[in-house]
Structure 1
Amino acid sequence: MSTDWHRLSARMLAVHPVQEVVRLLPVLIGVLFVGRGGQGQIWSLVGLCLAVGTGLLRWFTTTYQITPEHVRVRRGLFSRKELSVPRDRIRTVDLTSRPLQRVLGLSRVVIGTGHGGHSGRGGHGGGTVTLDALATVDAARLREELLHKRAAHPAEAGALVDVLAELRPPWVRFAPFTLSGIAAIGVVVGSLVNLFNEIAVDRTDFGAVQSWIGQIASAPVWVLVTGLAVLTVVLVSVLSIVAYVLAFWNFRLARGEGTLRVTRGLLTTRQTTIELRRLRGTEISEPLLLRAAGGARCSAITTGLHGEHSSSVLLPPAPRVVADRVAGDVLADPVAASAELIGHGSRAHLRRHTRAALVAAAVTGLFVLLWWLADWPAWTWQVALALFPAGALLAEDRYRNLGHTLIGGKLVVRQGSLVRRRQVLSTEGVIGWVFHRSFFQRRAGLLSLTATTAAGRQHYTGIDIPAAEAVALADAAEPGLLEPFLVRERSVAEAVQDLRG
């Protein structure tokens, strides 16, 4: 293995200057239009030269080294900085290729250790080290070298042996139910507003547009509301479909020798590798609209992906039966992935409905006081009365979604309504238990049981479990762990004998 210092691919000289220009494009346009007497053009040209120079400088000042023990990256011209990551702490190596990088045969390599920060010079901390960019062939070779360094046959270590899931065109129908188009609308509208403000657009120059807006404003209110609602639904649906296709086109989940590999993306491709030995479980999430359409997402609960939640995706929005199957295949335990759960009983049911009724009563009561004391319109508290049936429906759904079980060394918990989540967590990955009881939970004989782990969100909670069942569940999941804290039932004779002694 060569321990020389290497430079990034020289082809990045055609990419980084373009990226810097695109990043500064709004500022450059603003300077161009706002400047007077030709100064705007001059300063825009200066900014353009600085952006290009910054992109070129990055290649000349960045080198990296791969040793048997470390991955090191040096950056900077006036302030030299070296990042060092121990190879035994590397958890993920992701490859990303944006459109221009794909044309030039380049890939961006992100080496993650699952920790929050970067290490300093010669340090042994860990965070994320980025090499932007390497030739695609070199990037793939580096990924195999870093992730499969212990394999007996490195050339075969990453060979794909089983395809678990591939994107099916009918799955695109779930895109509108993810509401990702709303975020896209916000980004587009915000960008247009900022652009118009930067170039100081005079609204009087668009008389036809103003006339068109005036005609729309003169229409009846119900027509405006209906038209706006229809337009919003159409835009959100179209943009959600576009975002889905861009993010998950050519999606493929495959299992290799000790790894899971996810490939996805249309314009920007991304390849993520997850080591099976770091996998601790799976999570199936069902937002309310997606659940109503019969869809679900599946993601991995694994160590080494803190702050990189998008890397844990195992399946895009897809039919729920497919999500269950993928979760079972990934865990090699289809029974645990789809097992029937134990309900949390009548007291948890009453608690859900009581909380919903109290919230509805508090809101309605507030509007009644405002109507009585501050002359607010009566329709405010009358509309608030709808919170009682709506809250009851939500409470019933929240209760029905509560559940837990322990099967085959897997802890399974489910909760949520607006976003229902089902987590399957290997008990081998549990490092501790947290029992939480509020005043009202104590009165009801319930508690919330949290399994702590180094993977995923690091804590997974079963809500409002009967106290005896929660203790028994934790004790069965990790036999002996709670032994010093458990109080076993004893007969009266044993208790009397202890007192006499």
Structure 2
Amino acid sequence: MTDTLDTATEVEWRKLSPKMLAVHPVQEVVRLLPVLVGVLFLGREGHGPTWSLIGLGLAVGFGLIRWFTTTYQVTPHHVRVRRGLVRRRVLSVPRDRVRSVDLTSHILQRVLGLSRVVIGTGRSDKHDEGVTLDALSVAEAARLREELLHQRTVAAEPATTDTAETSLAVLDRRWIRFGPFTLGGLAAVGFLAGIYGKVSSEVDLDPEKFGPLRAVVHEFNAIPLPLAIAASAVVFAVVIGLLSTIGYVVTFWNYRLTRHREGTLHVSRGLITSRSTTIEERRLRGVEVSESLLLRMVRGGRLLAITTGLRVGHGAEHGGSLLLPPAPLGEVQRVAREVYPDGAAVTCELTRHTPAARRRRHLRAYTFAAVVTGALLVLHALSGFPAWAWQVSLLLFPIGFALAEDRYRNLGHALRGRSFAVRQGSLVRRRHVLDTDGIIGVTVHESLFQRRSGLATLTVTTAAGKQHCDALDVGAQEAVDLADRAVPGLLTPFLR
């Protein structure tokens, strides 16, 4: 302990880049912009502009104080961040707890050559932001990542990556055709609709006041209702596809996946905001091949890493676990074989589940359709609800049949050497391939209806990714045998 403290006192405390003085005040102003605008307009009969200027000055002042009061230190054993003016805080993280180093740069930071560094510590708490340094110069951020992940200090000039890194995948512009099938534009449409609703309620915005929009509304009112619905659906699909394609380009432009000779995977991407994530391969516990229904229609998918130290819950595009963006399924499988040691497990044949699992899916689909149709029939009989509602709901039966068949066909599992593979899902089909060395526990769960069908759900838990993987509706005895073979000795005390 004494040696560690003595070493820490000898290591100098470093400051963030002075260029952040041009970034943080702007960030503080943007963060407080709604409050400043509210004060300006609510107090326009009094001292609104004065209070807005005072608030603006405080926002800039907070941004300046952050630079003057934030320092960090990297010792042989710890990473420490010291911040605060009135209330001094020191965050200390052991270096052996560092799991990942994530570098991001928004447009203003990229212009100034800055990068935001987030040092992941392996906590699964979604509110944990790790150790954050905002911001360092790009060169200093790269050196810090090299020092923390590869346990060595590099020279002031960063080494070239030609010999240190091997390229595994680079964005092919032909992949942009998968953009419309990601449905990323739905979020943009929702955001724009929310802004429109807010603005229209505040300023009494009436579409009839705009000539072009008024003409479009009148045209839609003049055509038959079925044709108007079909035209609206086409326009909506085109807008969603266009926005999704733009989102794909903005998010994944300059994408590159490389392997460092020190045993790390490096993912970089982004057009406006660049993001760079480094993952230690020794912490990689598996991979996930994800195929949404629309991507499956065009033979596409995406690849995610199952690894300790990367927080989940931010979505594939925004989280740090994405290894390959939506791309041809063959390319996804190729990269998975390059990244995961037992690459054959990614494409191996899976064991089909029993017919009882198929019956369960059909029963659940028909039950849902029957409940909806029955409720609409009752409403029609008692309160004169339109008859077309329950008649249209009859389509739920063939739709439920197709969905149940697809969900059953997508069920499967396999235990191949040290790899446990499981697949499930219909709207989003996911195939998880997990290293059995990363399994820390198993659960065999049987509901009342599963017991009547002789089925069970096998859940294997791990410290990586979403921390669990489910094999749905496996035969009860098969689930126990599978768990015993996947983790030999774990169930021995409970088996005879």
User: C-alpha displacement at 1:45, in angstroms?
Assistant: 2.3
Label 1:133 to 1:234 Cα distance change in 2 as closer, same or farther (>3 A).
Answer: same
1:176-213: CA deviations, max 9, x gaps?
A: 11111010111223234445656x46659946478547
Match of 1:240 in 2: 244
1:270 maps onto 2:270 in alignment: no
Match of 1:444 in 2: 453
Q: Is the Cα–Cα contact under 8 Å of residues 118 and 128 in structure 1 kept in the other structure?
A: no
1:377-428: CA deviations, max 9, x gaps?
A: 2222211211111111100000000000011310000001111100000000
The CA distance in 2 between the partners of 1:19 and 1:330, in whole Å, is 38
Match of 1:102 in 2: 110
1:353 maps onto 2:362 in alignment: yes
The CA distance in 1 between the partners of 2:255 and 2:295, in whole Å, is 19
1:321 maps onto 2:321 in alignment: no
Match of 1:338 in 2: 347
Match of 1:182 in 2: 186
2:320 alignment partner, SS class: helix
Residue 439 of structure 2: which of 430, 447, 454 is its match?
430
Label 1:312 to 1:157 Cα distance change in 2 as closer, same or farther (>3 A).
Answer: farther
1:327-372: CA deviations, max 9, x gaps?
A: 1111132211110101002111122112211221222222222222
1:291 maps onto 2:299 in alignment: no
Label 1:438 to 1:214 Cα distance change in 2 as closer, same or farther (>3 A).
Answer: closer
The CA distance in 2 between the partners of 1:196 and 1:27, in whole Å, is 20
Q: How does the TM-score come out when normalised to structure 1? A: 0.89
Match of 1:458 in 2: 467
Q: Is the Cα–Cα contact under 8 Å of residues 290 and 301 in structure 2 kept in the other structure?
A: yes
Label 1:432 to 1:445 Cα distance change in 2 as closer, same or farther (>3 A).
Answer: same
1:52 alignment partner, SS class: helix
1:218 alignment partner, SS class: helix
Match of 1:51 in 2: 59
Residue 385 of structure 1: which of 380, 394, 411 is its match?
394
Name which of structure 1's ranges 253-262 and 364-373 shifts more when overlaid on structure 2. Answer: 364-373
The CA distance in 2 between the partners of 1:137 and 1:234, in whole Å, is 42
The CA distance in 2 between the partners of 1:99 and 1:11, in whole Å, is 14
User: C-alpha displacement at 1:227, in angstroms?
Assistant: 3.4
1:48-107: CA deviations, max 9, x gaps?
A: 222222211211121111112211112222222221111111101111111111111111
The letter for the 2-side match of 1:24 is L
User: C-alpha displacement at 1:223, in angstroms?
Assistant: 4.6
Residue 77 of structure 1: which of 60, 82, 85 is its match?
85
Residue 281 of structure 1: which of 278, 281, 286 is its match?
286
Name which of structure 1's ranges 36-45 and 18-27 shifts more when overlaid on structure 2. Answer: 36-45
The CA distance in 2 between the partners of 1:214 and 1:87, in whole Å, is 62
User: C-alpha displacement at 1:284, in angstroms?
Assistant: 0.6
1:215 maps onto 2:223 in alignment: no
User: C-alpha displacement at 1:434, in angstroms?
Assistant: 0.3
Aligned residues: 480
Label 1:364 to 1:197 Cα distance change in 2 as closer, same or farther (>3 A).
Answer: closer
1:222-257: CA deviations, max 9, x gaps?
A: 454233222211221111111111111111111112
1:122-172: CA deviations, max 9, x gaps?
A: xxxx86010000111111111111111179999989864321111111111
Q: Is the Cα–Cα contact under 8 Å of residues 9 and 135 in structure 1 kept in the other structure?
A: yes
1:306 maps onto 2:311 in alignment: yes
Label 1:260 to 1:102 Cα distance change in 2 as closer, same or farther (>3 A).
Answer: same
1:402 maps onto 2:407 in alignment: no
Name which of structure 1's ranges 369-378 and 107-116 shifts more when overlaid on structure 2. Answer: 369-378
1:311 alignment partner, SS class: coil
The CA distance in 2 between the partners of 1:243 and 1:100, in whole Å, is 19
The letter for the 1-side match of 2:236 is T
1:9-40: CA deviations, max 9, x gaps?
A: 10000111112222333443444445434744
Match of 2:487 in 1: 478
User: C-alpha displacement at 1:108, in angstroms?
Assistant: 0.4
The CA distance in 2 between the partners of 1:412 and 1:249, in whole Å, is 31
Name which of structure 1's ranges 478-487 and 341-350 shifts more when overlaid on structure 2. Answer: 478-487
Structure 1 runs not aligned, ≥5 long? 120-125, 488-501
The letter for the 2-side match of 1:229 is A
The CA distance in 1 between the partners of 2:160 and 2:449, in whole Å, is 54
The CA distance in 1 between the partners of 2:207 and 2:459, in whole Å, is 61
The letter for the 2-side match of 1:146 is L
Match of 2:422 in 1: 413
Q: Is the Cα–Cα contact under 8 Å of residues 360 and 387 in structure 1 kept in the other structure?
A: yes
Percent identity, aligned pairs only, is 56
Match of 1:495 in 2: none
The letter for the 2-side match of 1:455 is A
Q: Is the Cα–Cα contact under 8 Å of residues 146 and 153 in structure 2 kept in the other structure?
A: no
CA RMSD for the aligned pairs?
A: 2.7
The CA distance in 2 between the partners of 1:410 and 1:204, in whole Å, is 59
Match of 2:131 in 1: 129
Q: How does the TM-score come out when normalised to structure 2? A: 0.90
Structure 2 runs not aligned, ≥5 long? 1-6
The letter for the 2-side match of 1:482 is L
User: C-alpha displacement at 1:215, in angstroms?
Assistant: 2.7
1:273-325: CA deviations, max 9, x gaps?
A: 00011000000111111111211110000001134651010000111111111
2:290 alignment partner, SS class: strand
Name which of structure 1's ranges 73-82 and 415-424 shifts more when overlaid on structure 2. Answer: 73-82
1:82 alignment partner, SS class: strand
The letter for the 2-side match of 1:267 is I
